[in-house]
Amino acid sequence: MATAATLDAVVRAAGPQLGSLMERVEARLAALATGYGPLLSHHAGETIAAGGKRLRPLLVLLAAGDPPEEAADRLLRSAVAVELIHSASLVHDDVLDRAPTRRGQPTVFAAAGRTAATATGDLLFSRAFAELAAGGEADDVRALSAASSALAQGELMQREDAWDVAVPLARYLQRCELKTGALFEAACRLGALAGGGPADALAAFGRAIGLAFQLLDDVLDVSGPASRTGKARGTDLLDGTVTLPLIVARERDPQLAATDLRALRSGAETEAICDRIAATGALADAKARALTVVADAKSALPSSLPPAQRATLELVADGVVERYA
């Protein structure tokens, strides 16, 4: 996928030090999955091992720029903690959604049940805060706590909005910023705090990139295919989650505005709704909105950033967009 290629380019552009730091992040993540009994260790380890592109810890490291040597431990802890929170939230989401697969693999919920999955997510959350607490930096703990609270708030909003095809666009965007943007924001803030950079400006960049990431994720849910996304096309619709493609399409197709998502019973029915959404041109419009968010985020990066740091951050932003290409 384009994302993997782009992030590989980021690592190459940033030099061997970034690759070395990412290897240390991986080693620390693996170590934290052990020591809590065989069952929890197994499920936590499997969750971390399936961890995707590590975009959030990468943002931590890039937002730090060229940090002082004494900040290396703080930076590593921050990168690890952000990824642990992300992994924990995915496990808990799968419990709430009763999801059978993620990234093409059985979820902890599907493999071991609700209790094991909930405990696995709880363990990952607790280890994230233990990592930051061990560093003794109160600002770091506050940043991650704010992101975790936003995740919970966004999830509650999504549950409240379930099955409502009339969800307003502004509320949907707020939900995306809470559920996805907030952790991207925390990643960039934590990196800036460790590196001594412009924390508020980089945090705003992260929040915008997270929003674009979610917008395109919602486009991919409708456009598919499952071989690319790791889940059935239209999974969000089957779960009653109304996203940007349907919000745009319902204004152009009255039948979509009147759709009862609870009545969807099969993959074929959901595929038909996805096709109807695509026929309105809503996917292109949703992608265009994401592209605008990314362009604005790149242009708002502080001019005081070193050119090499700015270039790698822009590469990451482009990688978010290229997930759709």
Assess whether pLDDT exceeds 70 at residue 161.
yes
Q: The whole model's pTM is what?
A: 0.92
Helix axes 182-195, 55-63, angle to 10 degrees: 30
Can you list the alpha helix ranges (DSSP code H) found in the chain? Answer: 2-14, 16-32, 38-49, 55-63, 72-97, 108-112, 114-135, 138-161, 169-176, 182-195, 199-223, 226-229, 235-238, 244-249, 254-257, 267-279, 282-299, 307-322
Average pLDDT, the chain: 90
Residue 205: name the closest of 11, 81, 52, 63 by CA.
Answer: 63
Question: Is the bond preceding residue 307 a cis peptide, omega within 30 degrees?
Answer: no
Predicted confidence band of residue 324 (pLDDT cuts 50, 70, 90): low
* pLDDT band (50, 70, 90) for residue 107: confident
Domain boundaries, the chain: 2-322
What CATH number was assigned to the domain covering residues 2-322?
A: 1.10.600.10
pLDDT band per the 50, 70, 90 thresholds, residue 40: confident
Rounded average pLDDT over 68-84: 93
Compute the average pLDDT of residues 15-33. 86
In this predicted structure, what is the pLDDT of residue 2? Answer: 46
Tens digit of each residue's pLDDT (9 = 90 or more) over 263-279: 998 888 999 999 999 99
Q: Of 58-72, 88-102, 117-131, 143-157, which one has max mean pLDDT? A: 143-157
Q: What confidence tens digit (pLDDT) does each residue in 294-311 have?
A: 999 999 999 999 999 999
Q: Is the pLDDT of residue 108 over 50?
A: yes
Cα(61)–Cα(72) distance, integer angstroms: 10
Distances (CA, A) of 144 to 55, 128, 136, 138, 274: 16, 9, 13, 10, 36
Residue 6 has pLDDT above 70, yes or no: no
pLDDT of residue 1: 41
Confidence of residue 243 (pLDDT cuts 50, 70, 90): very high
How many other CB atoms sit within 10 Å of the CB of residue 198?
18
Residue whose C-alpha is closest to residue 123's, from 48, 15, 182, 53: 48
- Express as a percent the part of the chain with pLDDT over 90: 65
Residue-wise pLDDT for 143-159, tens only, equals 999 999 999 999 999 99
Classify each residue of 245-261 as buried b or exposed e, where b means 16 or more C-beta atoms within 10 Å of its C-beta: bbbbbbeebeebeebeb
Q: pLDDT tens across 182-228, in order?
A: 999 999 999 999 999 999 999 999 999 999 999 999 999 999 776 66
Predicted confidence band of residue 319 (pLDDT cuts 50, 70, 90): confident
Average pLDDT over residues 165-193: 97
In the chain, what percentage of residues exceed pLDDT 70? 95
Crossing angle of helices 55-63 and 2-14, in 10° steps, is 30
List Cβ neighbours of 72 (8 Å cut-off, separation of 6 or more). Answer: none
- Averaged pLDDT, 86-107: 84
Confidence of residue 51 (pLDDT cuts 50, 70, 90): low
pLDDT for the residue numbered 323: 66
Interatomic CA distance for residues 161 and 191, integer angstroms: 34
- DSSP 8-state secondary structure symbol assigned to residue 102: E
pLDDT given for residue 226 in this prediction? 67
Q: What is the pLDDT of residue 85?
A: 95
Burial category of 11 from C-beta neighbours within 10 Å (exposed 0-12, middle 13-18, buried 19 and up): buried
The Cβ-side half-sphere exposure at 272, using a 13 Å CA radius, reads 10
State the pLDDT at residue 267: 83
User: Measured between alpha carbons, how far is 189 from 14 in angstroms, rounded to an integer?
Assistant: 19
pLDDT at 162 over 80: yes
> Residue 176 pLDDT more than 80?
yes
Whole-number pLDDT of residue 18: 86
Q: What pLDDT is attached to residue 213?
A: 94
